Amino acid sequence: MNRLLKRFEYLEPKYIEEALKMISDYGQKGSVLAGGTDLIIAMKKRKVNPQYIINIKSIPDLDYIRYDRENGLGIGAVTTHSAIADSPVIRDKFSLLAAACNKIGTPQVRNMGTIGGNICKAGPSQDTPPALLVLDAKVKLVSFSGNRIVPIDEFFVGPFKTVLQEAELLTEIQIPTPPSQSAGSYKWLTKVVTVDETLVGVAVLLTCDAGSRVCTDIKIGLGSVAPTPIRARKAENVLRGKSYDDRSIQEAAQVAAEETRPRSRADYRRKMTRVLVREAITEAWQSIQ
Amino acid sequence: MSHAYLVVGKRIIQPDAAAKATGTALYASDISIPGMLIGKVLRSPYPHARIKRIDKSKAENLSGVEAVITPEDTAAWQKFDRGLKDLPMIAGGYTVPPDESVLNERARHFGDGIAAVAATDEHIAEEALDLIEVEYELLPFVIDPQEAMRPDAAQISDFAKRNIGKHMSYAFPAGDVQKAFKEAECIVKGAFSTTKQEHCTAETAASVARLDVNNRLTVWSQCQLPHLARREIAHIFNMPVHRVKIITPFIGGSFGQRGSLCAEPICVALALKTGKPVKLVFSREENFIALESRTGFQYTLRMGFQRDGTLTAMEVYMLGRLGGYMGCGPMASAIGMIFGLGHYRCPNRAGEADMVLTNTPMSGAFRGFGNPEIMWGIEQLVDEAAEKLGMDPIKIRLKNIKKAGEIANMGLPLESTYLERCITQGAEAIGWKEKWRKRKEGTIRRGVGMATMTHCSGAAPLYLDHSNAWIKLNEDGSADLVVHPAPVGQHIWGALSQIAAEELGIHAEDVNIVTGDTDVTLFEYGSDASRSTYVIGNATLMAARQAKEQLLERAAEMLGVSAQELEINDRQIFSSIGQKKRISVADVCYDAIYNFKGECLNISGKCSWESKWNSPPTGAFFAEVEVNIETGRVTVLRFVTAMDCGKAINPMAVEGQLEGGIQQGIGYGLTEDYVINKDTGVVETDNYDSYKMPGMMDMPETQIIIIDEPDPKGPFGAKGVGEPGMVGVAPAIANAIYDAIGVRIKDLPMTPEKVLKALESS
Amino acid sequence: MKRMATFLVNEKHYELAIEPHMLLIEVLRDKLGLTGTKQGCEIGNCGACTVLIDGKPVLSCLTLALTVEGRHITTIEGLSQGTSLHPIQKAFIDHGAIQCGFCTPGMILSAKALLDKNPNPNEKEVKQALSGNLCRCTGYVKIIEAVLAAPEVISKEAKT
C-alpha cells in the first residue's frame, strides 16, 4: 500500500573493507543495497525496515567480468544482469548463464539488478541459480574473520535462506570453463504471461565424448520446484554413460519430475518439469551434434 | 456509397498527442497547487468489521499532519452510491440506494476506507496512517454469492434482503420460452463463469479538491461523467450544485472504472476539513481493492434451435457478485441480458439475474459492461449448436443475425448493420476455410474460432442521453468548440474537431476544443456507453450546422447572393453558381465581429441534444490459436476484428480502440485472475506482481477491418466503438481452442491447468 | 538527515537537499516538477516510471535518489526543446500510438534507449526492448509500429 520508504541512514562505502565494517557494525539493523529491485520493493511492502542502507553498487572492485581459460569466469557481485547477458565472452562460452540472465524481469530490471543480489535473495523461483548449479559455480564470501569459497549447491538452504553469515559479503561468482564438447540449455515456463516469474526453470549442461558420442557427464538444475534450486542428481545418473536416445531422455525427465518438491501448483509443476527437462536435454544434445 | 470528405475519415493526429508525448499533459496526479496537502486513506484489513475504537491522537500530533478524519467526522455528509445512481439518471426510475458513507464505520470489504489523513507531504501522510490506532470488532463475513444468499449468512446491507442487492429481469422479454424449448429441435445449455477483471488503468485513481474563500469547491476529477459527478458531490457534501466546479484533467485510462466517483469523496472531505487544497492519489494496491472492477458472474444459459439452425429460444439466469456496496454492478446484468439476448433474432427470450452483496471489493462497469460477460457463454453455445446440427459456425450465425430495420437490442430499430460483411471478411482474413476443422495431431495444435456481437452507441433509451455542444467562430475563421467528454484516451477531441470542421468546411486543426470545466461547458452526461462520438458528435454536428447557417447568411449578404447557393470548402465560401463570388470564412467572421455597419455578431451555434436514437455497432472476432497439449499453454497467433461502427471519423483512432480491446480480451480470456482468499477475505492479487495482464510479448499478430459504411443517424454516419472491441475476444479464443483440441472451457480465465484438466476428462 | 546532492537531469545541474529515503521518482516529480515521469505501480512492474540513467532504462520508483547522484539522468522532458519534438515523439504522434498517454513517456524512453544502441531494430527486438512497459489502451500495436517507423524519421531529421 505504501508508495514511499521509511527513513534510514545511507552509507556509500568505496572499498570492500569499508563495506565489511559497516555490515558488521550495523548487523541486523543494516541492509546491503545492490540493484535495489528486490530490497526497495521489500521495504515498500514493509517486509524489511533497515535503519542503515549500505550501498555496495558503487564499489568498483565488485563490478567486473573476467575470463581466462585456466581460471574460468569471475563475475563481480554487483555486475548487472544485462551486463552478463550482453557480455560477449559469456554469450560465447557460458551461453546458459547469458540465457538465464536475459530471462530475468524486464530490460529495466536487468539494468538494475545484480547477480550477487539475485543469489543472496535466494528466492525459489529465480533464474540464475539453476544455471549456476549446472555450471559448478562457486561464490566467494568475505568477512573480517576470513574468506571462503562455497560451491553454489551448498549456498542455498531454504526459501530466501543462504549460508551467508551476518558479517559476510558475497563478492564474486566463480565459474570454471565447461569441458569441451559441452552444450547447455536453459528452458523455462512462466507463471502466467510471457514476461513473468519463472514457474519451472530447467538448466542442463551436457558433456559428451567426442568420439563415441556418449554422455560423459550431465548436470540438471531445477528452479522454482523445490524450497531451493536443486540438482536432479537421480535423473543425471539415468543419462550418464548413455548415448542420445529418446527413451532414456524421457526416463530421466520423469525421474527429475519425481525429485521435485513444489509447494504450490504442485501437480502442474511436476508435469512441466518432465516436459522441460526432456526439452532441455534434447536441445543440449542437438547443439553438440 | 463513399463521400468525399475534407477531414472526416482522415487519420489525423490528435490535438492532445504532443502534450502526452512530451510529458507536459497534466493528469490529476500531476497537479500541484500552492499550499496543497497530500491525503492518504487507512483501509480495513478485514472483510467485515466494525470500528470499536479509533484513536487518532498520535497521528494528529505528528508534525505536518493537518487533519485526521474518521467515520464520525463524516456523519453530517450524505450517504451515496459512488456509481452516481442514487440520483436519477436512468429511465424507469432505476436507482441504487445511497449506502456508502465517505468513511465507513463498518467496513464491508478488505480495503474499505475507514479513516484518512491530510499532511504537508506524502511521507508524513504515510507515517500518520501508521499512527492511527484502530480496534476492530470482527464480524462474520461471506465471500461467495451462493453462500451470501443463505438465510444464515452475514447481512451486509439494510437494503438487501438475503444480500440480494437487486433482482434484475431482462428488459425486453418476448414470446414463451418454456413452450419454445419444448418445441426446439436442438437445445444447448451450459454453466459459465466470468471473473472480476481489474481495469489496470495506467494512472491510479486521483483527485484534487479545493474550497475557495467564496465557499466554492473545485474538484479535479477523473470522473467520466463530469456534470453528474458535480451533482453527486454537491449532494454528498450538502452544497448547492452551483458551488461545485469540476475540472477534468487528462485521465490515464478508465474503461468504465472512472464512471463512478473514485478518489473524490475522501479528497473533498479532507479539503473541507482542512480548508486547504488536498491531493489524494491511490496506490496501485488501492486501485485493486478500493475501486470497482468487472462484475463477476456465474450463469446458466440455454438456447433452442430448429434443425436448420434457426434460433428460437434463449434463457439465462445470472448470479452476479457485487461486493460490499452495490455500485454500478447490478446494471451489468441488465445490460448483459439486453445485449446478449438481443443480439441474434430470437422470438422467445427471457432472463433473470440476482446481484448479490458479498464482503469483497466492489464490482461495476468495465468496457462492455455485461456484454463480454454474457457473450462468453452465448458464443460458445452457438458453436455447440452448430456442431450438433452439423453446421459451420459461420453459417449458423449468418442465419440468425438481425437485418437493418429489425428491432435491435435496446428496443429501437437497428439503424444499420453490416455484420454479415464483418463475418465474411473476417473469416477470409483469418483463413477460416483453410484452417477450421482441420485434422489435428502432434503436441502443438492449431485452431480457429469466432464470435460476434452487437453493442450500443449511447444508452438511449435507457439512460439520460443528454449532451450539449456550443461552437463559436473566432475572428480568424477558427472555431472554439465547447464540449465536455472525458478524455480517457479514446481520441474524442480529435473526432469532435473533425465533425465540427467537416460541417463548417474548415480544417480539423482550426477547431479548438474548449473543455474540462463545468463552469464553462453546458450540461454533458459524459463519456460512457460508447456514446461520445455518436451523441456528443451529433450535438457538435448540429451546433456546427447552426453556426454554418449564420455564417452563410452573413456571407450571402456580403456577396450579394442568396444563402442557398453558397457552399463552404477548405476555409472558402463560394457560390455554387458563379465561381467569382467567393470569400474566406475568416473574412466573414472578422467582419461580423468588427462590424461598423451596426450589425455586430459573433457567429456561433448551440445544440442541446437528447439522443432518441441508438445505432448499435456490430462486429465479428476471429482468433487463431496454438495449444500445446503437454503444457496446456495457449498462444493466440493471430486475431482479426471486423467492425461495423458506421463511418470511421478517424480510422486510426478506431483501430486503436479495437487493438486495445484485443489486449483486454486476451487478458480476460487467458491471463487475468482476481483472487480473493476465501478464508480471510484478503485480496491476493493486488498488484502487477500477482495480477497479470498481457504485455507486448503476449499479443498476437492483429488485423483490423473497418467496414466503414455510414449509419443514417450517426454524425457523418459514425457509430460507437469504445467498448465493442473487447466483447467477442474471449469467446473467439475459447472457440478456437475447441477447434484446436476438442475441449471447451467455460470458466474464465482459461489457464493451462484448466486446459490440461479438460483434455484429461475428454 | 537531509544532505545536499547534485543531480544532472536532462543535461542540467540541480543542487537539492535530499533525504536518503527519497526515491528518484519523488525527486523528479515533486522536487524538480518534472511530472512527465509517471508512477504506475510502485513495484517496478509497469515501467511508467522509466527514466534513462547514462542512456540505460531503469525504474525510478525503485531507485534511491542518492545512488544516481552525478549520473546522466534523462526524463521525457529532455527529449523535446520547446515545440520542437524528438523524432521518436513525432513517430508516436503520427502513428496514433498514444491514447491515454500515461505509459507514453516510459515507452518513448525505452524506445530511445533501444534506437540509440540499435538504430534499425526488427519487430522482435522492439518488443523485447519495450517488454518492461505495460499499456492497457493501445494493445501495443501502434506503439510497435511507431518505433519501427522512428528510424526513418530520425534519419530524415539528421539530413535536414
Our CA-based measurement puts residue C66 at a distance from the nearest CA of chain B, in whole angstroms, of: 17
Angstrom distance (rounded) from CA B98 to CA B84: 9
Contact C63 A105 (CB under 8 A): no
Cβ B22–C136 below 8 Å, yes or no? Answer: no
Residues in A closer than 8 angstroms to B126, CB to CB, are 2-4
Asked whether residue C86 carries a pLDDT value surpassing 60, the answer given is: yes
Which chain C residues contact residue B721 at CB under 8 A? none
What average pLDDT does the segment B443-455 reach? 97
Q: Which residues of B touch A4 (CB under 8 A)?
A: 122-123, 126
Whole-model pTM: value is 0.98
Measured between beta carbons, the chain C residues lying within 8 angstroms of A53 are 20, 64
CA distance B725 to chain C (A): 11
Yes or no: say if B371 and B297 are a contact pair by the CB < 8 Å rule.
no
Residue B53 pLDDT level (bands cut at 50, 70, 90): very high
CATH topology match: C3-78 vs C87-159: no
Q: Which three cell numbers stand for residue B674?
A: 482476481
B242 backbone dihedrals φ, ψ, rounded to 5°:
-70, -10
Please state, in angstroms and rounded to a whole number, the distance separating the CA atoms of residues B70 and B74.
Answer: 7
The two domains B17-23+466-610 and B31-139+200-289 share their CATH topology (first three levels equal):
no
- Chain B residues with CB inside 8 Å of C153's CB? none
pLDDT averaged over every residue in chain B:
97
Judged by CB atoms closer than 8 Å, whether chains meet at C42 and A3 is answered as yes
B491 contacts chain C (CB < 8 A)? yes
Domain C3-78 has CATH 3.40.630.10: no
Could you read off the pLDDT of B172-219 as tens digits, one per residue? 999 999 999 999 999 999 999 999 999 999 999 999 999 999 999 999
Give tens-digit pLDDT for B103-146: 999 999 999 999 999 999 999 999 999 999 999 999 999 999 99
C140 contacts on B by Cβ (under 8 Å): 659, 663, 695-696, 699
Neighbors of chain C with 3 or more C-beta pairs under 8 Å: A, B
Q: Which of residues 177-216 of A touch B (CB under 8 A)?
A: 189, 191-197
Measured CA to CA, the distance from residue B465 to residue B481 in angstroms comes to 20
Out of B26, B199, B696, name the one closest to residue C127 (CB): B696
Q: With helix as H, strand as E and coil as C, how does B533-573 read?
A: HHHHHHHHHHHHHHHHHHHHHHHHHHHCCCHHHEEEECCEE
The yes/no answer to whether this complex scores an ipTM above 0.85 is yes
Please compute the mean of the pLDDT values over residues B529-557 and round it to a whole number: 97
Distance in Å, alpha carbon of A1 to nearest chain B alpha carbon? 6
3-class SS of residue B719: coil
**Of B628, B656, B633, nearest in space to B643 by CA:** B656
Give the per-residue pLDDT at C159: 85
Closest Cα in chain A, distance from residue C155 (Å): 26
Residue A48 near chain C (CB below 8 Å): no
Domains of chain B, by residue range, sit at 17-23+466-610, 31-139+200-289, 147-186+305-395, 401-458+615-762
CATH of domain B17-23+466-610: 3.30.365.10
Q: For residue B521, give the nearest of B592, B466, B470, B591 by alpha carbon.
A: B470
Contact at CB, B692 and A196, closer than 8 angstroms: yes
* pLDDT exceeds 80 at position B640: yes
Closest residue to B698, CB basis, from A1, A2, A193? A193
Q: Residue A3's closest chain B neighbor by CA?
A: B283
Nearest CB neighbour to C62, from listed A8, A112, A195: A112
CA end-to-end distance (rounded Å), chain C: 51
Whole-number Å distance between alpha carbons of C149 and B310: 49
Q: In this complex, which of B27, B652, B663 lies closest to C140 when CB atoms are compared?
A: B663
Is B762 part of the contact surface with chain C (CB cutoff 8 Å)? Answer: no
B1, pLDDT greater than 50: no
Q: For C101-154, what is each residue's pLDDT tens digit?
A: 999 999 999 999 999 999 999 999 999 999 999 999 999 999 999 999 999 999
**How close C33 comes to chain B (CA, Å)?**
9
In chain B, pLDDT over 70 holds for what percent of residues?
A: 99
B469-485 pLDDT per residue, tens: 999 999 999 999 999 99
Torsion of CA B321, B325, B331, B334, to 10 degrees: 50
- Name the residue of chain A whose CA is nearest to C62's CA: A40
Contact A1 B631 (CB under 8 A): no
* pLDDT value at residue B579: 65
Size of interface A-C (CB pairs under 8 A): 86
A272 to chain B: closest CA residue:
B631
Tens-digit pLDDT string for chain A (289 aa): 799 999 999 999 999 999 999 999 999 999 999 999 999 999 999 999 999 999 999 899 999 999 999 999 999 999 999 999 999 999 999 999 999 999 999 999 999 999 999 999 999 899 999 999 999 999 999 999 999 999 999 999 999 999 999 899 999 999 999 998 999 999 999 999 999 999 999 999 999 998 888 999 999 999 999 999 999 999 999 999 999 999 999 999 999 999 999 999 999 999 999 999 999 999 999 998 7
CATH topology of domain B401-458+615-762: Aldehyde Oxidoreductase; domain 4 (3.30.365)
Each residue's pLDDT tens digit, B303-324: 999 999 999 999 999 999 999 9
A89 at interface of C, judged by CB pairs closer than 8 A: no
Report pLDDT for B3: 66
Domain ranges of chain C: 3-78, 87-159
Chain A residue with the nearest C-alpha to that of B130: A2
Asked if A109's CB is within 8 angstroms of C44's CB, the reply is: yes
Task: Residue B443: count other Cβ atoms within 10 Å of its Cβ.
Answer: 10
Fold classification of B31-139+200-289 is Aldehyde Oxidoreductase; domain 3 (3.90.1170)
- Distance from the B197 Cα atom to the nearest Cα atom in chain C, whole angstroms: 13
Residues in B closer than 8 angstroms to C40, CB to CB, are 202-204, 284
Four-CA torsion B41, B45, B46, B52, nearest 10 degrees: -60
Cross-chain residue pair A1–B286, CB shorter than 8 Å? yes
Q: What is the mean pLDDT of residues B354-372?
A: 98
DSSP per-residue string spanning B304-351: EE-TTS-EEEEEEEEEEEEESS-TTHHHHHHHHHHHHHTTB--SEEEE
Mutation target for A interface from B289, B630, B635: give the one with most A CBs within 10 A. B630
**Nearest CA to CA, how far is C43 from chain A (Å)?**
6
| Residues 63-102 in C contacting B (C-alpha not used; CB under 8 Å) | 75-77, 79-80, 85, 89, 92-96, 98-102
Contacts of B122 in chain C (CB under 8 A): 26, 30
Q: Are B497 and B491 in contact (CB under 8 A)?
A: no
Selecting from A55, A111, A194 the residue whose C-beta is nearest the C-beta of C67 gives A55
List B residues 685-724 in contact with C (Cβ-Cβ < 8 A).
Answer: 687-689, 693, 695-697, 699, 702
User: Could you read off the pLDDT of B7-18 as tens digits, one per residue?
Assistant: 999 999 999 999
Task: Tell if the CB–CB gap between C129 and A107 is shorter than 8 Å.
Answer: yes
Q: Is C125 on the interface with B (CB under 8 A)?
A: no
CA distance A74 to chain B (A): 32
Per CATH, is C87-159 categorized as 1.10.8.10? Answer: no
Cβ separation A189–B631 shorter than 8 A: yes
Give the Cβ contact number of residue B175 at 10 Å: 15
Q: CATH for B147-186+305-395?
A: 3.30.365.10
Query: What single-letter amino acid sits at B404?
Result: A
To test the contact with chain C by mutation, choose from B12, B13, B14, B22 the residue with the greatest count of C C-beta atoms within 10 A, namely B22
User: What's at A244, amino acid-wise?
Assistant: Y
Q: Which of B285, B671, B751 is the closest to A1 by Cβ?
A: B285
Q: State whether C101 and B489 contact (CB < 8 Å).
A: yes
DSSP labels, C54-95: TTEEEEGGGSBGGGGTTSEEE-GGGT-BTTBPPHHHHHHHHT
Among A8, A36, A109, the residue with its CB nearest the CB of C21 is: A8
* pLDDT of the residue at B405: 94
Looking at the DSSP bridge assignments, the partners of residue B246 are: B219
Which residues from C are below 8 Å from A33, CB to CB?
64, 67
Compute the nearest-CA separation of A234 from chain C (Å): 37
Largest alpha-carbon pair distance within chain A? 63
Question: Which residues of chain B make contact with C125, given a CB cutoff of 8 A?
Answer: none
